[in-house]
Amino acid sequence: MLGTGNQKYNPHAVMQILLELSTAHLLRSSGTQQIHFVAYESHQAQQLTEAMDEHLGRVKVLLPKGDLVDSIKYDIDGLIRMLQQMNPIKVLDDLQQLILNDNATPLGFGITGRDLADAIVNDLLNLEDQKGDLNGKIRKLQKPKYDVPEWAKQYLHVLRTIGNNFAHGQAAAQKMSTSLGPQDLEIQLICIRRVLKLWFDIQREKSS
């Protein structure tokens, strides 16, 4: 990571500068959508992650563990494998990597769960309804022509909300620290499994 090797700069100070410059660039640029920070060594990558989380005020929440969670992950992995044959998109690969990674973070599940919700909603909506933020797009599923169960829309909102809270800065993190814990992330996994099953059923019906 820039300046933290032989120069031994404080990773937290470097990260603050990088985030400020990156944010300014993203606000100015009409073409740049993402900026990736890369570290060549695993310990530097961990320092980068910790510094970014601290700067953004991301709360640390432990992933839930146990037989129930393992069972849910097993189901999710199976659904992903079937969906990849029907609709091989990147978010499914990202989610599968998280499911199979014992060191995956709640942040990873939060953001990937939100991306999954966005992908599913876009797939369900007609092209003219795919504009806008995820909240607005989920609301468009209320239109009678889509015939999406109410519970599915609520599950999609759960994934959207948790993902937003993990991705956003200090204010959201402070609120979340008093309300989200491992049990909430367990609910998130249940939501992921349920919307994946719905999506699989819809894809299978389309192909039949």
Give the pLDDT confidence of 94-105 residue by residue, as tens digits. 999 988 887 777
| pLDDT at position 32 over 60 | yes
| pLDDT at position 1 over 50 | no
Using only the alpha carbons of the chain, give its radius of gyration.
19
C-alpha distance from residue 155 to each of 91, 114, 121, 149 (Å): 17, 11, 12, 10
Q: Decide: pTM greater than 0.85.
A: no
Helix (H) or strand (E) holding 85: helix 67-86
**Amino acid 64: pLDDT:** 63
Check: CB of residue 200 under 8 Å from CB of residue 124: no
Residues in the chain: 208
Give 129's contacts (C-beta < 8 A, 6+ positions apart): 137, 140, 143
What average pLDDT does this structure show over 166-179? 51
Q: Point out the least confidently predicted range of 24-28, 30-34, 48-52.
A: 48-52
Instruction: Kindly indicate the confidence band of residue 177, based on its pLDDT and cuts at 50, 70 and 90.
Output: very low
Q: Output the CA angle 51-29-173, nearest 5 degrees.
A: 35
Q: What is the percent of the chain where pLDDT is above 90?
A: 30
Instruction: Kindly indicate the confidence band of residue 76, based on its pLDDT and cuts at 50, 70 and 90.
Output: very high
Buried b or exposed e, range 1-31, using 16+ CB within 10 angstroms? beebeeeeeebeebbeebbeeeeeeeeeeee
Instruction: Kindly indicate the confidence band of residue 195, based on its pLDDT and cuts at 50, 70 and 90.
Output: very high
| Structure tokens that stand for 107 in this block | 């942040």
